[in-house]
């Protein structure tokens, strides 16, 4: 009542709330806050009164399911060096080259590690990396948010191509981006050259952009969607599935995205407080139709309280192209999830991380969860000793040690907004002393 409604009023042009000034954010671009009231003050008073009469005094608490300790994964981490502190924002397991790549947002570097977690190389990245993907060149693509991970409307974002064996190892493919956070690559116009779809999260502004290769080697941008909050992109056939995670939170399908007949379809819509954080398309239930593995848990804006609808969702794909919720597992602050057959029993398990964990519960159970699939039932498990090592903002899955099973790498970002967390100095010190990343080695083989 005293946070969201005053901000809502300021956006509508009312710069006081119950007699207390609540001015527009002076750093916001023109048009975000109305210069004059957009409705009569009596109508605004009725809206306030409706929330006062109908809003619950506190958010309902989701039932807590106790987790059991997993025996499948063991903790491994790189050796810390003097002055190290964990500020990793992106991570990628490259199975082909048997390397782990880590983006550091403080030193603004891309680090490469061996399967034994020895540091092989450190190079300047040009900014804070948000995503690392394999590149058609044999190297890596990386989205660069800018000089740091903070909110900004400055067009400092980049898409870069990193070639580890080239004399010019970093190529800037696209410049002047709004905090890019995801990229997909393919030959979308069938000309034999690489094209890119980039999700630009922005702050007040952002977009979903298509960059098609041209005969002269340049890239031509087409803006598919002018909307802040585009955060995850998947490709199914000729269509894009896109998660919009800010304001009007929703999952949309962009049909025939690289053609002249692009159409848009809203598949699922969520409330503005949902805190959508990631989306992946994968056949979770094994019926041959792609499902949506979706997480909600971003919890650092103007309503930082624990929410019962934060967690891991599976929306099952239907023959008609729609999606129906099939599974929900509550996990406060969930930031990402990956489905894979970790125990090699023929079905999809799920590994998930939380960046805003409810640390009032067992610390090992809230920052990472392994959901083992047994006949369609997901059994929550934890890794003993993991919770005190850091806050995990990104994860990657792959067989790093070539032993035939899937390992999990977790990027550790101990710095950042706390949201609803109340962190003791002792826990903060332990997180700051943690490693840059964690490798959960699969012990199946």
Give the predicted TM-score (pTM) of the model. Answer: 0.95
215-235 tens-digit pLDDT: 999 999 999 999 889 999 999
* Helix-helix angle 41-54:4-11, to 10 degrees: 160
Q: Among 101-105, 192-196, 350-354, 416-420, whose mean pLDDT is lowest?
A: 416-420
Q: Per this entry, what is the length of the chain?
A: 445
Mean pLDDT of the chain: 93
Q: Among 20-34, 171-185, 280-294, 304-318, whose mean pLDDT is lowest?
A: 20-34
Percent of the chain with pLDDT over 90: 79
| 207-213: strand order across its sheet | 180-186, 195-200, 207-213, 219-225
Band of pLDDT at residue 105, cut at 50, 70 and 90: very high
The whole-angstrom separation of Cα 374 and Cα 7 is: 45
372-396 tens-digit pLDDT: 999 999 999 999 999 999 999 999 9
Mean pLDDT to the nearest integer, 196-208: 92
The whole-angstrom separation of Cα 308 and Cα 305 is: 10
On the question of pLDDT at 74 being above 90, the answer is yes
307-331 tens-digit pLDDT: 999 999 999 999 999 999 999 999 9
Band of pLDDT at residue 82, cut at 50, 70 and 90: low
On the question of pLDDT at 166 being above 80, the answer is no
Percent of the chain with pLDDT over 70: 98
Whether 264 contacts 310, CB under 8 Å: no
On the question of pLDDT at 83 being above 70, the answer is no
Q: Among 109-113, 178-182, 202-206, 336-340, whose mean pLDDT is lowest?
A: 202-206
Q: What pLDDT shows up at residue 72?
A: 97
Select the more confidently predicted residue: 124 or 196.
196
Q: What pLDDT shows up at residue 25?
A: 85
Q: What pLDDT shows up at residue 1?
A: 63
């Amino acid at each position: 009542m005293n946070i969201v409604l005053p901000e809502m009023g300021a956006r509508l042009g009312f710069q006081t709330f119950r007699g207390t000034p609540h001015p527009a954010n002076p750093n916001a671009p023109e048009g975000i806050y109305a210069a004059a009231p957009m409705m009569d003050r009596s109508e605004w008073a009725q809206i306030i009164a409706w929330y006062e009469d109908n809003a619950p005094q506190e958010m309902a608490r989701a039932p807590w399911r106790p987790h059991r300790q997993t025996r499948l994964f063991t903790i491994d981490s790189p050796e810390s060096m003097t002055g190290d502190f964990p500020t990793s924002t992106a991570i990628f397991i490259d199975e082909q080259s048997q390397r782990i790549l880590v983006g550091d947002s403080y030193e603004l570097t891309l680090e490469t590690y061996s399967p034994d977690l020895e540091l092989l190389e450190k190079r300047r990245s040009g900014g804070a990396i948000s995503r690392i993907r394999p590149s058609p060149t044999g190297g890596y693509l990386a989205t660069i948010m800018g000089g740091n991970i903070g909110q900004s409307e400055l067009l400092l974002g980049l898409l870069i191509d990193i070639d580890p064996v080239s004399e010019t190892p970093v190529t800037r493919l696209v410049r002047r981006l709004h905090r890019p956070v995801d990229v997909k690559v393919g030959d979308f116009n069938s000309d034999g050259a690489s094209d890119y779809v980039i999700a630009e999260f922005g702050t007040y502004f952002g977009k979903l952009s298509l960059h098609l290769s041209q005969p002269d080697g340049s890239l031509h941008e087409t803006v598919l969607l002018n909307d802040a909050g585009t955060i995850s992109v998947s490709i199914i056939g000729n269509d894009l599935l896109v998660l919009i995670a800010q304001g009007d939170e929703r999952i949309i399908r962009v049909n025939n995205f690289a053609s002249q007949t692009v159409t848009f379809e809203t598949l699922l819509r969520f409330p503005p407080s949902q805190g959508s954080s990631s989306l992946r398309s994968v056949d979770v239930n094994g019926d041959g139709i792609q499902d949506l593995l979706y997480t909600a848990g971003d919890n650092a804006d103007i309503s930082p309280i624990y929410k019962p609808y934060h967690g891991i969702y599976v929306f099952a794909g239907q023959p008609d192209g729609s999606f129906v919720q099939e599974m929900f597992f509550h996990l406060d602050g969930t930031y990402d999830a990956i489905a894979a057959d970790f125990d090699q029993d023929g079905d999809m398990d799920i590994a998930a991380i939380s960046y805003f964990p409810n640390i009032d519960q067992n610390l090992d159970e809230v920052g990472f969860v392994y959901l083992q699939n047994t006949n369609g039932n997901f059994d929550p498990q934890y890794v003993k000793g993991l919770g005190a090592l850091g806050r995990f903002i990104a994860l990657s899955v792959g067989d790093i040690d070539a032993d035939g099973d899937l390992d999990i790498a977790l990027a550790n970002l101990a710095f950042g907004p706390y949201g609803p967390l109340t962190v003791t100095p002792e826990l903060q010190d332990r997180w700051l002393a943690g490693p840059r990343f964690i490798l959960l080695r699969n012990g199946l083989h």
